[in-house]
Amino acid sequence: MRYLDLIIKYDVTGPRYTSYPPLPYWENPPSQYEWPMHVDQGGVVDLYVHIPFCKNICHYCGCNRIKLCDENDLDKYINYLLKEWKLYRQKCLPLRINSLHLGGGSPSLLSVSQLDKLFGKLLKDLDKSKLKGSIEIDPRNASKLQLQKIFDYGISRLSFGIQDFDPTVQEKIGRLQTFEEVSQIFQQARMIGFEDINFDLIYGLPGQTVSRIEETFKQVVSLRPDTIAFYSFAFVPHFASNQNNILSSDLLQGIEKWKLLETGRNLLFKAGYREVGMDHYALESSLLFKALEGGNLHRNFMGYINHQVDTVIGLGFSAISTTRKSFIQNSKNFLEYYDLIDKGMIPFVKGHVKSDDDLKTESIIHEIMCKQKIKLNSIDVAKVQAFINDNLVKLEGDQVIILEAGKSFLRNICMQFDKRLSTIANNVTFSRTI
């Protein structure tokens, strides 16, 4: 079968598998009593802090975020983040922070004094030289002073929200930023000492063409960020009402959309980047590529990371936390989030305790997503027979190996082991796999 025929065959809707089970399947949440006990079994934790505010809401965005209308709201929110962390320290055994990640929204909206307040409390008594830290940066509102403050606290990794450099595409997605503006803040970050910088890019956006995305990638590789996340645009206007500003007629589908991906991928490969898992590319000198080579690559709600951790505590509005046994998600309602904390409760409203079947499936999906192989003794090989027939995977010794051509279909391969897909509610719609 020709590769283009495979694109048509496997272009279906499906989960992104940042967790298993995916969030729509969650049931049987842990209690306020059980959750701290699950956290205690980790000891060492990664800390995720969600800053949901943005100055403006981009048309393409599907994240949990809100427009910042009053600067006082941000100060109040930081106070409650610290209250939430205090609750964890009261309810759990002593926790040691292994890494700290700030996501959003726009964490770079935090002023220098707000960064001081937040980091000063979260990282108190922590050896900064041992911290693995990262923060998402909006190049439109980041400053050299902010970057210096972030670096001084031991945060060594930046992730820049780029999406696309083409002015026509930027106009259609409601996010205007020039290459020159990004280049300037990027060079400032390098001068400060940041040696691990990621760019987020998206294919399938309105107005994108092969020639336009080619020009974007020429500009991207001229800066040589250490890693690049190149995602498929998830068009889910039923979930993100701001996407109703985008005309579906402006979106490429199927093979035409796949050509955008291939154009970007080929330029990255030509520039010396290597594929790392799904949607991620890295220079061979990067921490992420070294983790792949060393068998230490892992994946969670924050994407691919270069170390294994069993427990992630998510602080803030809508933040997701995970342990070996369970997941929780904090309230998406600010008043409820604040009220639960004021009552001395961990502010989650949704969760899931993993079953034995969940744990088994989670392990298989991790192998596919992070190692591109599966042990034969852990699966029914019939589930991947179609991919063998299509020359996307092969049997080798006691393993199923995902071939280079098969890396574009990792989500589809994972779906073969997901028993829950057949029970999903009719009103749940995932993004397309291509």
The token pair that represents 247 in the structure block: 């005309």
Query: Is 255 found in the same domain as 381?
Result: no
**According to the model, what pLDDT value does residue 32 have?**
97
Query: Is 364 found in the same domain as 278?
Result: no
| More confidently predicted of 102 and 14 | 102
Counting other chains too, the contacts that 143-149 makes at CB distance below 8 Å and 24 or more residues apart are 144/185, 144/188, 144/192, 145/112, 146/108, 146/110, 146/111, 146/112, 146/115, 147/185, 147/188, 147/189, 147/192, 147/194, 148/192, 149/112, 149/115, 149/116
Q: 35 near 327, Cβ under 8 Å? A: no
The whole-number average pLDDT for the span 166-193 is: 97
pLDDT 10s digits, 314-337? 999 999 999 999 999 999 999 999
Query: Is 412 found in the same domain as 372?
Result: yes
In a domain, 431, yes or no: no
**According to the model, what pLDDT value does residue 432 have?**
82
**According to the model, what pLDDT value does residue 70 have?**
84
Q: How far apart are CA 12 and CA 163, in angstroms?
A: 23
Query: Is 389 found in the same domain as 281?
Result: no
**According to the model, what pLDDT value does residue 41 have?**
80
pLDDT 10s digits, 263-291? 999 999 999 999 998 899 999 999 999 99
Q: How far apart are CA 418 and CA 277, in angstroms?
A: 19
Query: Is 95 found in the same domain as 1?
Result: no
In a domain, 107, yes or no: yes
* Position 400, amino acid: V
In a domain, 342, yes or no: no
CATH number at residue 413: 1.10.10.920
- The secondary structure of 190-217 as a DSSP string is HHHT--EEEEEEEES-TT--HHHHHHHH
Q: How far apart are CA 204 and CA 234, in angstroms?
A: 8
pLDDT beyond 70 at 112: yes
Q: What percent of the chain has pLDDT over 90?
A: 74
**According to the model, what pLDDT value does residue 1 have?**
62
**According to the model, what pLDDT value does residue 393 have?**
95
- The structure tokens 């001081």 sit at 116
Residue at a domain's end among 255, 290, 312? 312
Query: Is 157 found in the same domain as 95?
Result: yes
In a domain, 433, yes or no: no
**Phi/psi of residue 171, nearest 5 degrees:** -65, -40
| More confidently predicted of 43 and 212 | 212
- The structure tokens 């800066």 sit at 223
pLDDT bucket at 105, cuts 50 / 70 / 90: very high
pLDDT bucket at 385, cuts 50 / 70 / 90: very high
pLDDT beyond 60 at 427: no
**According to the model, what pLDDT value does residue 428 have?**
63
* Position 75, amino acid: D
In a domain, 335, yes or no: no
**According to the model, what pLDDT value does residue 71 have?**
83
Residue 222: CB atoms within 10 Å: 10
**According to the model, what pLDDT value does residue 363 have?**
94
pLDDT bucket at 377, cuts 50 / 70 / 90: confident
Query: Is 284 found in the same domain as 189?
Result: yes
Q: How far apart are CA 408 and CA 392, in angstroms?
A: 9
**According to the model, what pLDDT value does residue 426 have?**
54
pLDDT bucket at 3, cuts 50 / 70 / 90: confident
In a domain, 340, yes or no: no
**According to the model, what pLDDT value does residue 424 have?**
61
Residue at a domain's end among 277, 312, 347? 312
Q: 217 near 272, Cβ under 8 Å? A: no
**According to the model, what pLDDT value does residue 425 have?**
56
pLDDT 10s digits, 24-38? 899 999 999 999 999
The whole-number average pLDDT for the span 155-169 is: 96
The whole-number average pLDDT for the span 375-383 is: 90
pLDDT 10s digits, 49-94? 999 999 999 999 988 888 888 888 999 999 999 999 999 999 999 9
Nearest alpha carbon to residue 83 among 139, 122, 131: 122
pLDDT beyond 70 at 371: yes
The whole-number average pLDDT for the span 1-16 is: 86
Query: Is 83 found in the same domain as 231?
Result: yes
Residue at a domain's end among 312, 346, 373? 312
pLDDT 10s digits, 206-255? 999 999 999 999 999 999 999 999 999 988 888 889 989 998 899 998 89
**According to the model, what pLDDT value does residue 422 have?**
75
pLDDT 10s digits, 50-60? 999 999 999 99
Helix (H, G, I), strand (E, B) or coil at 316: coil
Structural domain count of the chain = 2
Half-sphere exposure in the Cβ direction for 293 (13 Å, CA): 10
Domain that holds residue 398: 1-15+355-426
Overall pTM surpassing 0.85 (yes/no): yes
